[in-house]
Structure 1
């Protein structure tokens, strides 16, 4: 059984991401696992600035367990009617320590297919913490990461856009995305931010020929976005492309750098999936 992991700090943004993941799991017939990493007050860099209650780990864990139960009931009871009668199972885990390390360990131990999390938290402290986690995961993750904008309400996924720099490894990624799109019978839009050079046009043609040859999905389309800057083109696609999800691959020294990803995290209007720099055989 496939499993979607949802890290949470119990903020409204994180709860919204959990609700999105639950709806997605109904369509893809996956289970949900919620996770939360406790940060011991005495070890926190904010300990001198925040009036932490004098609670031990046991009490903190009890509080987190109660929050987990409430969140589970919330996403189950507030979900629309079941898709094809399938109801995802919802499990959870609570650990102690660094949030990013804990998420990565859960992904590895439980063979997680996809991590879904909110882009911002409920308040200044929560927003900074969860935002820093998102940025670090983008940099370190070797698994698909789906970031949900605050207050974005799930709707049936009809069009997924994949931003490509025409790298040959993107063919494998497109194949994996076609599998994801097929669950929703969605269009898969291959998008490239390009200039007007003839050599680039030739490269586009050769890339699309290879996609057509190797990918067995009949709802793949291509759209060129003519912008001078990559990030500007992707922001335009997010806002005006009538898409339900934007997907990109994070390659440190290439097309989509850490700075590109971070800017899109703050600017995108739709869920943003960031894939690691490796061949993807499975997304969900």
Structure 2
């Protein structure tokens, strides 16, 4: 894991998220790319130079965030970018060939019912890169236990679990696999691919209506430092992100959530 991309939102959450990313990067020996995206507005008359004002504000906010964190000697490359937020972040992440995106769970405080906002949700929906979603105010702690929650035990794309394997190796963490058997599972879903068996220290089968219900049922027992899920083309988490955001009633994690990408 050599490079991490951190897209910034508003200053309060941006400082917390970037500090987490720095602390995480110091453990995995990675460099960090930080980007602040500002939009464009076509306005006639006296405000025709509003793009320049937006860029100026964006640079000032980025400077404020960078000055507010403990960099711990980590190499940080920071830049402001003009464009559509989600598209720009996805494009930069692909161009830089980053290994991981670390983003804040919520982009706005306007709606307290939202767990993941439209920007982070849009990134999960569009990018093929693994994402680590950090709850508001969460401070870095060593990852000792991971709850890997899946509905389907099928893997058809190689290296799906590679990002998790790297984290497990670096932190010497335990992986607790929760295989949630829902009413929508097929016989194939209920089988477990050998890669899941290889990475897991413990394996538990649970019958629940949804993956989220299974997670809630086992959180206290496992007491994880990170939850890991796989977003597939067909499945619970893909449906969650159809609107590019997730409500807390449907899914919420108060610890970092690692989202991997499968192709099922």
Name the counterpart of 1:132: 118
278 and 3 in structure 1: CA distance in 2 versus 1, 3 angstrom threshold: farther
Q: 1:210 & 1:276 partners in 2: Cα distance?
A: 15
Supply the distance in 1 between the matched residues of 2:105 and 2:127 (Cα, whole angstroms): 16
CA deviation after TM superposition for structure 1 residue 171, in Å: 7.4
TM-score, normalisation: structure 1: 0.76
In 2, are the aligned partners of 1:12 and 1:122 still within 8 Å (CA)? no
Residue 272 of structure 1 is aligned with which of 236, 241, 257?
257
User: Residues 87-106 of structure 1: matches in 2 within 5 Å?
Assistant: 87-106=73-92
CA distance in 2, matches of 1:202, 1:193: 10
* Unaligned segments of structure 2, at least 5 residues: none
Partner residue, 2:53 = 59
* Pairs within 5 Å for 1:224-263: 224-238=205-219, 241-259=222-240, 262-263=246-247
RMSD: 3.4
Indicate if the aligned counterparts of 1:193 and 1:224 stay in contact, CA closer than 8 A.
Answer: yes
Question: Which residue of the partner structure matches residue 220 of structure 1?
Answer: 201
Q: Look up the match of 2:133.
A: 147
| C-alpha deviation, 1:191, in angstroms | 1.4
Correspondence for 1:76:
70
Q: Please list every run of 5 or more consecutive structure 1 residues that lacks an aligned counterpart in the other structure.
A: 44-52, 280-284
Distance 2:123 2:23 in 1: 23
Residues in 1 aligned to 2:188 and 2:40: alpha-carbon distance in whole angstroms:
55
> CA offset at residue 253 of structure 1?
1.8
Deviations, residues 37-96 of structure 1 (Å, cap 9, x unaligned): 1112447xxxxxxxxx8863233223222222221222226xxxx5xxxx3111112111
Number of equivalent positions = 253
Do 2:176 and 2:222's aligned partners in 1 also have CA atoms closer than 8 Å?
A: no
- Deviating beyond 6 angstroms after TM superposition, the runs of 4 or more aligned structure 1 residues are 199-202
Q: Which has the higher helix share?
A: 1
2:154/2:188 contact within 8 Å kept: no
Alpha-carbon spacing, 1:175–1:221, altered in 2? closer, same or farther (3 Å): farther
Distance 1:24 1:278, change over 3 A: farther
Q: State the distance in 1 between where 2:195 and 2:251 align.
A: 33
The 1:240/1:12 distance shift into structure 2, 3 A limit, reads: farther
